Amino acid sequence: MPTYLLIWNSKRFNWDNLQDILNQGFYKDRWSCGVTKRINPGDRVFLIKLGKEPRGIMASGKATSDVFEGDHWHEYYVLEGTKALYINVNFDIILDPEKSILTIDKLNKEIYDDLNWNPRNWHPRQSGISIPDDVAKQLEIDWAEFTSRFSNVSDFVLTEELDAAKTFPEGATKQIIVNAYERNPQARLRCIAKYGYNCSVCGFNFQEIYGELGKNFIHVHHLNPLSEIGIDYEVNPEEDMSPVCPNCHAMLHRDKDKRAISIKELKKIIEMKRRSNIGDET
């Protein structure tokens, strides 16, 4: 997947409504892409904060448009009639840089050394820099590990829920292709607010079995496969998502060559097996 680095320089642009966006949990808008014209809808993007400390990766998402021209984002250049290039972008994860940011010093692996934003030589010249595939894979892993500590940011997602056309590095423990649908924390929270933490297939509740350790833990299953819906599809958490335990979630996606079976079908399989076991006992 083509991956690009976007820039926010806090010394040059005052992001006035950032706190409102953080409360929302995701962000859709246009963003400057420097002189890059190659970005296409669906391409992966990361946002790096420069300028005032702290500096580092604070958001990820996808481009939702081709590159287009518009008035320059800086008011000085607007007065001069200067134009700038933009893409529409959907940031599916956006962190408060004052509280939690993947700082540059954490990206200290050798794989980042060839880029001009690694810890020793790290100042990107402009937005829209292309990130090589091998570096992008490592960044996905580092980003996933960093954001996994925030329970309101993401949930574990089965690789079967995505159109996983890429291969993953040996040893990777997380799915590293991410899209807006399963990383939207507000959608997950709305689904759970309506249906609770019991598995909608088997009724399992982690807190009842594991106590405090299992509190507020459940997977969320997308009733419409993510690989079959468009990039602009707006998920209705109360109609398109349902809480399920990891075991049932895996069984819903067990046959990779076919569409995921429905919750109703899996319930029927469990009931038939239960009756069969009762019959064997008698």
In which band, very low, low, confident or very high, does the pLDDT at 229 lie, cut at 50, 70 and 90? low
d(CA 33, CA 22): 22
Residue 234: pLDDT band (50, 70, 90) is low
Q: Is the dihedral of CA 16, 19, 21, 26 positive or negative?
A: positive
Q: Which pLDDT value is given to residue 181?
A: 41
What pLDDT shows up at residue 257? 57
- Classified as helix, coil or strand, 130 is strand
Decide which of 109 and 124 is more confident. 109
pTM of the predicted protein model: 0.56
Q: Residue 155 and residue 183: Cα distance in Å, rounded? A: 7
Q: How far is CA 237 from CA 136, 176, 185, 219, in A?
A: 30, 23, 10, 13
What residues does CATH 3.10.590 cover in the chain?
1-153
d(CA 75, CA 132): 33
In DSSP terms, which residues pair with 129 in a beta bridge? Answer: 5
pLDDT tens, position by position, 151-208:
444 333 343 343 333 343 433 333 333 333 444 556 677 788 889 999 999 999 999 9
Q: What is the mean pLDDT of the chain?
A: 76
Enumerate residues 6+ apart whose C-beta is below 8 A from 278: none
CATH (one of 3.40.50, 3.30.980, 3.10.590, 3.30.2450) for 1-153: 3.10.590
What is the predicted pLDDT for the residue at 164?
A: 36
Contact 266/252 with Cβ under 8 angstroms? Answer: yes
Residues 242-275 pLDDT 10s = 999 989 988 888 775 566 789 999 999 999 988 8
User: 58-112: per-residue pLDDT in tens?
Assistant: 999 899 999 999 888 776 666 677 888 999 998 878 888 888 888 877 777 777 7
List pLDDT tens digits, range 3-42. 999 999 888 788 878 877 776 656 788 999 988 999 999 9
Which run of H or of E encompasses 264?
A: helix 263-281
Q: What's the rounded mean pLDDT across residues 232-241? A: 71
What's the average model confidence in pLDDT over 107-130? 67
pLDDT (0 to 100) of residue 161: 43
**CA–CA dist 153, 147 (Å, integer):** 7
Query: What local confidence, expressed as pLDDT, does residue 115 receive?
Result: 65
